[in-house]
């Protein structure tokens, strides 16, 4: 008896994954492109910079943009373009490292709180609440005063301030996942909690955490530049965009450029991360999508 | 509601206690000897140093020092500045009015900018308008305050000479001049907050627009303007109020950056100067005060939230 041959079901198009969806959004493309430029500039700074970053040219004091100094020079005759390129290195290093610190510590704390529950959860989350009770800049400044200003301290200060944000973000999805049947199944199969967390909980928590991380990279760049502006972040002669604005501000009446360009550079990098973070958030939470897509 | 209120107020005491202990502990982690600061770094006479330490109570165990500090705090004594020798409470009383005025001014400007922009973005059917406003608010969130402040000074004070720089007459003596001189710092402080609030207004309106009761109103044939005004706006504002409260909490704590850029002698600048001058009793008092304000304003916002939304019932 010939076997009945069923026509193959029409291939259902797979729902588009996050990367595909992201590429369709103009915000992602613009934000991503800006970031590509910023990151390339930071990575290739030693090769792209026309002058050594601390080299002073007394004849070029406060030189206007154009000529030998494309974006002009500061009060010490240092090339602004070169310092912006290296300043991006500082910004991205501090922002990246501090967010990584907060994401790791806060993520672990949030998952632990959600997964363990009971007194552990109470202890961890109340601790986070107390940390949250402090205004962020003030807490960061206090940490800097205790540890002494410097790049590593800046990373730690921003990182610590951001920990509770990631703990809260990680706890929510953990609570949801914990109740799922497959977790019970994994448990019944005798899998160890560590393995369950790594294999089943972490992947569910990672997406919201990544979105939050993108947004926090934007705020961390602003944070670093503000601390450096106040003299509590990156220390001279290391180039930091905030420090450059702070120095340039003293000569505003003579020439605006040493303050204008580094500030614009900060806005560009922060906007890049904000655009990317915003579009990712919209993709994950359709309720945030603009009205015209539903109308 | 009354039970919830009582509960929250009761919880406030341990929270404030923990915060005060943390602030005290953190300040003691700062390297350096306060007695040495008071004495001056040239003076290294151990006998004098020991005498100053005894006077300040620094030779006692840390929990005794903490107990004394809290005891004095409860009596309204915030301590004495080691730099100026003046009572810290008096210094704060001088600085706080500047911070309060700047905060209220900035909050007012932020709302004035944010609510129309957010409302338009949240209710428009124009793709261009919504995208444009979203880009604008993202740009607002990407601006470093210290740079915006410097650019505003450059444009309006240096080039156009519309606003005076770095003078802050009292409101009572000369209200006109006062409002003018606070405009640029308030605007600097308002911009990023306006962007955040506008985004919240928009998101909230979009969410409310999907509610059943709005669909019913549409089905009844009500005009869109009426729906927005009568049915959507009030409900959409509830989450916005929370954000406004958080912003207010931050602003009242003093903006270290904006006060520094415009040389406003408020709380934030006072804290920063205390760091530079190693006047740690002042720093300690400022950090404590600002954190307390932050906690209290957040509590007020939580309570307001319950009062505004009858659907929320705290058991």
Q: What mean pLDDT comes out for the span A204-213?
A: 86
- pLDDT for A88 equals 94
Q: Which of B122, B127, B146, B157 to mutate to test the interface with A (most CBs of A within 10 A)?
A: B146
Tell me which of A105-109, B83-87, B298-302 is least confident.
Answer: B298-302
A288 contacts in chain B (CB < 8 Å): 203, 206
Cα dist from B141 to A126, A272, B101, B254, B311, whole Å: 29, 11, 23, 19, 32
Band (pLDDT 50/70/90 cuts) for residue A10 is low
The verdict on a CB contact (< 8 Å) between B141 and A218 is yes
Tell me which of A39-48, A209-218, B305-314 is least confident.
Answer: B305-314
pTM of the predicted structure, to 2 decimals: 0.87
A286 touches B at CB < 8 Å:
no
CA nearest to B240, candidates B281, B193, B274, B275 = B193
B126 touches A at CB < 8 Å:
yes
Higher pLDDT, B179 or A99: A99
Task: Specify the DSSP element, H or E, that contains A272.
Answer: helix A257-284
For the cut 60, the answer to whether the pLDDT of residue B97 exceeds it is yes
- pLDDT for A265 equals 94
A295 touches B at CB < 8 Å:
yes
Beta-carbon contacts of residue A234 (< 8 Å; ≥ 6 apart): A90, A94, A150, A151, A154, A224, A227, A228, A240, A242, A243
Mean pLDDT of chain A: 85
Q: What mean pLDDT comes out for the span A266-294?
A: 76
CATH number of B97-308: 1.10.3720.10
C-alpha neighbours within 13 Å on the C-beta side of residue B53:
14
Q: Give the 3-state secondary structure percentages of chain A, helix then strand then coil, rounded to 5.
A: 75, 0, 25
For the cut 50, the answer to whether the pLDDT of residue B27 exceeds it is yes
Task: Report d(CA B244, CA B236) in Å as an integer.
Answer: 13
For the cut 50, the answer to whether the pLDDT of residue A295 exceeds it is no
For the cut 80, the answer to whether the pLDDT of residue B312 exceeds it is no
Predicted confidence (pLDDT) per residue in A57-113, tens digit: 787 777 788 877 778 888 787 888 889 999 999 999 999 999 999 999 999 999 999
Backbone φ and ψ of A250, nearest 5°: -70, -15
Beta-carbon contacts of residue A268 (< 8 Å; ≥ 6 apart): A34, A38
The verdict on a CB contact (< 8 Å) between A130 and B295 is no
Tell me which of B169-178, B227-236, B246-255 is least confident.
Answer: B169-178
- pLDDT for A289 equals 57
C-alpha neighbours within 13 Å on the C-beta side of residue A21:
13
Backbone φ and ψ of A233, nearest 5°: -115, -125
The verdict on a CB contact (< 8 Å) between A263 and B206 is no
Percentage, residues of chain A above pLDDT 90: 34
B287 contacts in chain A (CB < 8 Å): 138, 142
How far off is chain A from B172, nearest CA to CA, in Å? 31
The verdict on a CB contact (< 8 Å) between B146 and A252 is no
Predicted confidence (pLDDT) per residue in B117-138, tens digit: 998 888 877 778 888 888 899 9
∠ CA B40-B43-B49, rounded to 5°: 90
- pLDDT for A222 equals 94
Q: How many residues does chain B have?
A: 315
Backbone φ and ψ of A206, nearest 5°: -65, -35
B14 touches A at CB < 8 Å:
no
3-state secondary structure chain B: CHHHHHHHHHHHHHHHHHHHHHHHHHHHHCCCCHHHHHHCCCCCCHHHHHHHHHHHCCCCCHHHHHHHHHHHHHCCCCCECCCCCCEHHHHHHHHHHHHHHHHHHHHHHHHHHHHHHHHHHHHCCCHHHHHHHHHHHHHHHCCCHHHHHHHHHHHHHHHCCCCCCCCCCCCCCCHHHHHHHCHHHHHHHHHHHHHHHHHHHHHHHHHHCCCHHHHHHHHCCCCHHHHHHHHHHHHHHHHHHHHHHHHHHHHHCCCHHHHHHCCCCCHHHHHHHHHHCCCHHHHHHHHHHHHHHHHHHHHHHHHHHHHHCCCCCCC
Q: What mean pLDDT comes out for the span B168-190?
A: 83
B137 touches A at CB < 8 Å:
no
How far off is chain B from A30, nearest CA to CA, in Å? 11
The verdict on a CB contact (< 8 Å) between A133 and B256 is no
Task: Report d(CA B13, CA B33) in Å as an integer.
Answer: 31
Burial class for B184, CB neighbours closer than 10 Å (0-12, 13-18, 19+): buried
∠ CA A158-A164-A167, rounded to 5°: 125
Band (pLDDT 50/70/90 cuts) for residue A6 is low
The verdict on a CB contact (< 8 Å) between B26 and A146 is yes
Q: Tell me the sheet residues that pair with A66.
A: A69
- pLDDT for B138 equals 92
- pLDDT for A12 equals 62
Q: Pick from B142, B153, B260: which is nearest to A270 by CB?
A: B142
Q: What mean pLDDT comes out for the span B3-31?
A: 84
| Interaxial angle between packed helices B88-123 and B127-141, expressed in degrees from 0 to 180 and rounded to the nearest 10 | 160
How far off is chain A from B125, nearest CA to CA, in Å? 6
CA nearest to A32, candidates A207, A216, A277 = A277
- pLDDT for A229 equals 92
For the cut 90, the answer to whether the pLDDT of residue B205 exceeds it is no
- pLDDT for B92 equals 92
- pLDDT for A107 equals 92
Quick one: DSSP state of residue A53? T
Beta-carbon contacts of residue B185 (< 8 Å; ≥ 6 apart): B102, B106, B149, B258, B259, B261, B262, B264
B257 touches A at CB < 8 Å:
yes
How far off is chain B from A7, nearest CA to CA, in Å? 42
Cα dist from B300 to A261, A284, B303, B304, whole Å: 42, 32, 5, 6
For tokens 């672990």, name the residue: A108
A138 contacts in chain B (CB < 8 Å): 253, 256, 271, 287, 290-291
For the cut 80, the answer to whether the pLDDT of residue A251 exceeds it is yes
Instruction: Take residue B10 and report the two structure tokens written for it.
Output: 């009761």
Tell me which of A3-7, B146-150, B252-256 is least confident.
Answer: A3-7
Tell me which of A13-22, A245-254, B65-74, B295-304 is least confident.
Answer: A13-22
Band (pLDDT 50/70/90 cuts) for residue A292 is very low
């Amino acid at each position: 008896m010939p076997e009945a041959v069923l026509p193959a079901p029409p291939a259902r198009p797979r729902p588009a994954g996050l990367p595909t969806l992201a590429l369709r959004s103009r915000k992602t493309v613009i934000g991503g492109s800006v970031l590509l430029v910023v990151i390339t500039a930071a990575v290739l700074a030693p090769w792209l910079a026309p002058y050594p970053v601390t080299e002073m040219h007394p004849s070029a004091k406060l030189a206007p943009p154009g000529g030998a100094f494309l974006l002009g020079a500061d009060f010490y005759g240092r090339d602004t373009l070169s310092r912006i390129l290296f300043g991006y290195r500082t910004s991205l290093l501090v922002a990246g490292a501090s967010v990584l610190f907060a994401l790791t510590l806060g993520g672990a704390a949030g998952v632990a709180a959600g997964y363990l529950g009971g007194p552990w959860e109470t202890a961890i989350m109340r601790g986070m609440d107390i940390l949250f009770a402090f205004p962020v800049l003030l807490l960061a400044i206090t940490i800097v005063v205790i540890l002494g200003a410097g790049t590593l301290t800046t990373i730690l200060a921003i990182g610590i301030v951001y920990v509770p944000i990631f703990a809260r973000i990680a706890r929510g999805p953990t609570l949801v996942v914990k109740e799922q049947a497959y977790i019970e199944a994994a448990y019944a199969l005798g899998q160890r909690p560590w393995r369950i967390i790594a294999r089943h909980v972490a992947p569910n928590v990672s997406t919201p955490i990544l979105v939050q991380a993108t947004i926090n990279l934007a705020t961390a760049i602003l944070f670093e530049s503000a601390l450096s502006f106040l003299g509590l972040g990156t220390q001279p002669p290391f180039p930091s965009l905030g420090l450059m604005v702070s120095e340039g501000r003293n000569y505003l009446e003579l020439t605006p450029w040493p303050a204008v360009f580094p500030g614009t550079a900060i806005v560009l990098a922060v906007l890049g991360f904000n655009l990317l973070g915003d579009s990712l958030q919209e993709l994950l939470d359709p309720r945030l999508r603009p009205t015209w897509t539903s109308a | 509601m009354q039970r919830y209120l009582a509960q929250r107020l009761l919880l406030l005491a341990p929270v404030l206690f923990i915060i005060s202990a943390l602030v005290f502990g953190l300040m003691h982690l700062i390297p350096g000897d306060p007695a040495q600061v008071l004495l001056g770094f040239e003076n290294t006479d151990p006998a004098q140093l020991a005498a100053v330490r005894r006077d300040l109570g620094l030779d006692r165990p840390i929990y005794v020092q903490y107990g004394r500090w809290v005891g004095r705090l409860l009596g309204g004594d915030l301590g004495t500045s080691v730099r100026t020798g003046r009572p810290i409470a008096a210094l704060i009383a001088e600085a706080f009015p500047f911070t309060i005025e700047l905060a209220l001014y900035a909050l007012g400007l932020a709302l004035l900018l944010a609510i129309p922009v957010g409302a338009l973005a949240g209710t428009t059917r124009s793709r261009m308008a919504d995208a444009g406003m979203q880009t604008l608010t993202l740009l607002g969130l990407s601006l470093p305050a210290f740079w915006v402040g410097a650019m505003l000074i450059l444009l309006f004070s240096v080039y156009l000479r519309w606003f005076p720089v770095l003078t802050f007459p009292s409101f009572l003596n000369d209200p006109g001049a006062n409002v003018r001189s606070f405009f640029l710092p308030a605007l600097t402080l308002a911009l990023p907050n306006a962007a955040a609030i506008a985004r919240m207004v928009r998101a909230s309106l979009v969410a409310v627009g999907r509610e059943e009761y709005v669909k019913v109103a549409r089905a009844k044939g009500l005009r869109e303007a009426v729906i927005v005004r009568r049915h959507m706006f009030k409900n959409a504002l509830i989450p916005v109020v929370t954000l406004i409260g958080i912003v207010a909490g931050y602003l009242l704590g003093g903006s270290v950056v904006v006060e520094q850029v415009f040389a406003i002698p408020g709380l934030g600048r006072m804290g920063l100067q205390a760091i530079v001058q190693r006047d740690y009793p002042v720093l300690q008092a400022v950090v404590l005060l600002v954190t307390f304000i932050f906690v209290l304003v957040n509590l007020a916002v939580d309570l307001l939230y319950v009062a505004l939304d009858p659907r929320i019932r705290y058991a």
